[in-house]
A and B are shown apart, each in its own frame.
Chain A
Amino acid sequence: MSAEQMNGAEMVIKALGDQGVDVVFGYPGGAVLPIYDALFQQNHLRHILVRHEQGAVHAAEGYARSTGKVGVVLVTSGPGATNAVTGLTDALMDSVPIVCLTGQVPTHLIGNDAFQEADTTGITRPCTKHNYLVKDVNDLARVLHEAFYVARTGRPGPVVVDLPKDVLFAIGNYRPPEQVEQRKSYRPQTEPDPARIAEAADLIMHAKKPLFYGGGGIINSGPRACKLFGELMDMTGFPVTLTLMGLGAFPASDKRYLGLVGMHGTYESNLAMHDCDVMINVGARFDDRVTGRVSAFSPNSKKIHIDIDPSSINKNVRIDIPVIGDTAKVLEALIGALKARRFAPDRPALAKWWKEIEGWRKRDSLHFDQGDTIIKPQYAIERLHALTADRETFITTEVGQHQMWAAQLFKFEKPFHWMTSGGLGTMGYGLPAAIGVQVAHPDALVVDIAGEASILMNIQEMSTACQYRLPVKIFIVNNQYMGMVRQWQELLHGARYSESYTASLPDFVKLAEAFGAHGLRCTKPSDVDDTIREMIAIPGPVIVDVAVDQAENCFPMIPSGAAHNEMILGPADKRSSGPVSEEGMVLV
């Protein structure tokens, strides 16, 4: 056998090596046994055995988002592949680069309803950026390299490669990445059109009430984009607001940062969004969680939209100046164009705008009152931030109120330290994602800010954390309710709390111990700090059960179908008792 000849399974291992992959998250089964056999016989590629395939994809997402690399998943055919579907959809919605290898029945049995056969390419077509079924071992290397290329370039996303078992056994020729010719069809545009840059610069030159609206597309682009984003702020002195996916792209402690925007964003962010005259969207996608009622969204602004995906432009909101390209390249060109124009902000106008914003900021819309009996969920998160600020800390979350409070109150100074399920809102994301982050950053502190309902959705991954001694900390903000559901029921359904009480909860301390981890419980405000310190000091995985106020709601809130200037600031706010519009009721 010549050097390039090998079987399909060995080719998979070789291709992953050539793509710089050092870890795979997976779960074995009949159809992928040849790959597991090849894995067994090598030692450069690490395999993390999860306890559910959904967990494998979320772990790969956490790994990818905290490193900027492609996350890799390996699962078997049929149920292995279908279990991965939620994770793939999550990665698609949040633009996370994933390559997911799925086993498949041998080619001659495809279509026969063979044991553990599922139409994986059919099922995953709408939830991947692209997918492949490899029928010939001589296509395998090319497809694998192309899969990595597609996953990480342009708007990143998940790619599935379906591998029939006979192809894994067949002998064929391996080709390294540099010998794979690029396909003619897939050519993402990364360089911006200079004419658009000029138009954008001209508009920025004359802005009187400008606002930067930054999103996940800054993070996706990488550290350089984040740095250039900061430079642009230094140059202009304009205010910045960030989406849930953009948190960390600009330091939260900076005076120019107005906080989260959108449904649970700050008063100052949303009113600035509503009142600005020039909006510069950098890598955000005008999600409905951000725009509220589109017809009332920022009615008087001219809008610049920087995005690598042309389909993001004019999808929800009419754009005046679209700039298609990679954030880093666009920002570099934009900074150049502003310098060439000897940009100087309209200082009097800007000062007036800032004065208005400072007025809104004074409302202190994230304010809460911590008494001395019941722990407020916000307090628990605020203390978690305060006591971890001095070290390298990564935060993942589950989905619900706790997620929103984390987004509001945990102050991210750096990008790539915040992983949350934004687009799909997948309960059960946080623990496996934390595992993926911890694998990539073994010495860092990784905390999953969780709800007691969400954590049960992938709690089996505690076993993974314990097996690999991954010291993830699960910080459960336990309100005994699906709090976010309860909040909507209170607001929209006459406080009829249908099925949103999480009864029969496990004893989380004992649960932790059953897995071989540590469990801590905290019920008094005065114990919060000590509990967090203890959690950090324990070298292994920990579950912390923090009993918080069951009735607390997450404010501010823009009710569905409302405009930014119709936001509810808190329980005392008059509007909170007002009915939501009929159109608003049907919105999610």
Chain B
Amino acid sequence: MSDIERHAIAVLVDNEPGVLARVIGLFAGRGYNIESLTVAEVDRANNLSRINVVTSGTPMIIEQIKAQLSRLVPIRVVKDLTQEGACVERELALLKMAGIGEKRIESLRLADIFRARVVDSTIETFVFEVTGSTEKLDAFINLMQPLGLVEVSRTGVVAISRGAANF
């Protein structure tokens, strides 16, 4: 269908056992997409965690996803960052590269353009750390593929609204 939209949704939850399973179970059980999902505690004093989920669907489905999320008892706030206007989305990736010689030099040269940093290095391997939008990371990973990329680890998207608005 043509009216499929991609939305970044931020969910503030009481940090209690099973809450992530509830969210994931909801998406799986109702057949919603998860393109990316991250979770971490963001406010220890108030025992709050934040789940960032990137999903896609028709406007009616996106609305359902938000309503269904809001129904879960431990969920405090559901915010559709995409709908509320501009938001900053970032992802971090670690790339393990293997190889010596020309390829190694070329990959380090390209890394510079993407502001990727080397965070570990041996004679034959090294690890890049790169942050940015999902598209930027995809582009970087594609470039590294022929240059000795052996392993990728990505965080998934974290997002936050621009401007003064907050939870």
Interface residues of A, Cβ cutoff 8 Å to B: 121-122, 125-126, 129-131, 133, 150, 183-186, 309-311, 313-315, 318
Contact = CB atoms under 8 A, between A and B. Distances in A.
B63 A314 contact: yes
A310 B70 contact: yes
Contact of A183 (B14, B17, B63): B14
B63 A185 contact: no
A311 B73 contact: no
A313 B68 CA distance: 11
Nearest to B77: A185
Given A129-B73, A185-B76, A311 B67 contact: yes
B22 interface: yes
A537 B75 CA distance: 54
* Consensus secondary structure, chain B interface: helix
A185 B75 contact: yes
Contacts of B130: none
B94 to A, nearest CB: 31
B73 A133 contact: no
A311 B68 CA distance: 6
Residue in A125, A150, A185, A309 whose Cβ sees the most chain B Cβ within 10 Å: A185
Interface string B35-73: 000000000000000000000000010011001101111
B71 A125 contact: no
Contacts of A183: 14, 73
Interface of B: 13-14, 17-18, 21-22, 25, 29, 60, 63-64, 67-68, 70-76
A309 B64 contact: no
A185 B13 contact: yes
B64 to A, nearest CB: 6
B21 to A, nearest CB: 6
Nearest to B73: A130
Contacts of B18: 121, 125, 131, 133
A317 B119 CA distance: 53
B116 to A, nearest CB: 39
25 contacts: A121-B18, A125-B21, A125-B22, A126-B25, A126-B29, A130-B73, A131-B18, A133-B17, A183-B14, A184-B14, A184-B76, A185-B14, A185-B73, A185-B76, A186-B73, A186-B74, A310-B67, A310-B70, A311-B64, A311-B67, A314-B60, A314-B64, A315-B64, A315-B67, A318-B60
Contacts of A314: 60, 63-64
The 10 residue pairs across chains A and B that have the minimum distance between CB atoms? A311-B67, A130-B73, A185-B76, A310-B67, A186-B73, A311-B68, A126-B29, A185-B14, A185-B74, A311-B71
A195 B67 CA distance: 20
Interface hub of B14, B71, B76 (most chain A Cβ within 10 A): B71
Contacts of B21: 122, 125
Nearest to A186: B73
Contacts of A309: 67, 71
Contacts, number: 44
A147 B101 CA distance: 64
A140 to B, nearest CB: 15
Contacts of A121: 18
A129 B18 CA distance: 14
Contacts of B76: 184-185
A183 B75 CA distance: 10
A126 B29 CA distance: 8
Contacts of A122: 21
Nearest to B74: A185
Nearest to B30: A126
Nearest to A183: B14
A314 B66 CA distance: 12
A333 to B, nearest CB: 22
Contacts of A313: 67
Contacts of A126: 25, 29
Contacts of A125: 18, 21-22, 25
Contacts of B25: 125-126
A508 B75 CA distance: 51
Given A183-B73, A314-B60, 10 more contacts: A125-B21, A126-B25, A133-B18, A150-B73, A184-B14, A185-B74, A185-B76, A311-B64, A313-B67, A315-B67
B13 to A, nearest CB: 7
B43 to A, nearest CB: 12
Contacts of A311: 64, 67-68, 70-71
Contacts of B13: 185
A309 B72 CA distance: 12
Contacts of B67: 309-311, 313, 315
A275 to B, nearest CB: 25
Contacts of A131: 18
A318 B72 CA distance: 23
Contacts of B73: 129-130, 150, 183, 185-186
B16 to A, nearest CB: 9
A183 B46 CA distance: 12
A98 to B, nearest CB: 15
A160 to B, nearest CB: 12
A131 B22 CA distance: 10
Nearest to A127: B29
A131 B71 CA distance: 13
A120 to B, nearest CB: 12
A128 to B, nearest CB: 10
A183 B71 CA distance: 14
B50 to A, nearest CB: 13
A125 B64 CA distance: 19
Nearest to B63: A314
Nearest to A310: B67
B49 to A, nearest CB: 12
Contacts of B74: 185-186
Contacts of A315: 64, 67
Chain A CB count within 10 A is highest, among B73, B74, B75, for B73
Contacts of B63: 314
A310 to B, nearest CB: 5
Contacts of B71: 309-311
A19 to B, nearest CB: 18
Contacts of B64: 311, 314-315
Nearest to A312: B67
B70 to A, nearest CB: 7
Nearest to A313: B67
A127 B102 CA distance: 58
